[in-house]
Chain A
Amino acid sequence: MAVKAAYENYSGPNRDAVENFHGNQLVYIGWDEHMMFPCAGVFPLPPQMPFGAVIKEVVPAAFSLHPDFANIDWGKVEWLLDGKSFNPTLDKSLEDNGVHHKSLIRMITPGLNGINNSGF
């Protein structure tokens, strides 16, 4: 469907086009079963940033306040990229891992499901 407008060929700027982010792209990162962080966070990251650097620098800044964070076994973390199961290569860039502008990364930590296993 298309919008009905007062004049023909109505369109406007895509407010969040990747060009507007000064060389970065937006990446959303959420941690399943940890509702203490009620939603995924949004981060402006260089597309060339290695996935390993995201784990080392971005993810702790976002989630390390949770007591489960210190107990994460990073070898066992399961990742979802835009809803699909995903095996990131840590020394490859976001771009080369298929993480595009406004991609959503979800982190699943088996055995760690929030305070007292409550999903919080």
Chain B
Amino acid sequence: MKRPVRRQHQCPACGYPGLAEEPRPASGGGSFEICPCCGYQPGVDDDDRGVTPSEHRRRWIVAGSPWFSRATPAPPRWSPQGQVEKAFGKGGK
């Protein structure tokens, strides 16, 4: 029997495609799911700290694009630059 495929979602800050929840669900507010890649937390970084996804992305890139999570490992052959470009285009704007 096939296991149901759970839809994954993209981080609005770094483009990581493996989030379990929609960052900004239709019910309003943020998902509160912390991106294991860049640490962006919808509902906290934006709604409380006033940091937009693009601003977080800029800061994350300036900091060297470190993998955030201690519990969730980065995918094999993970490329932060490739991920950002795939999600947001060249320059990651």
Q: Do A and B come from one complex?
A: no
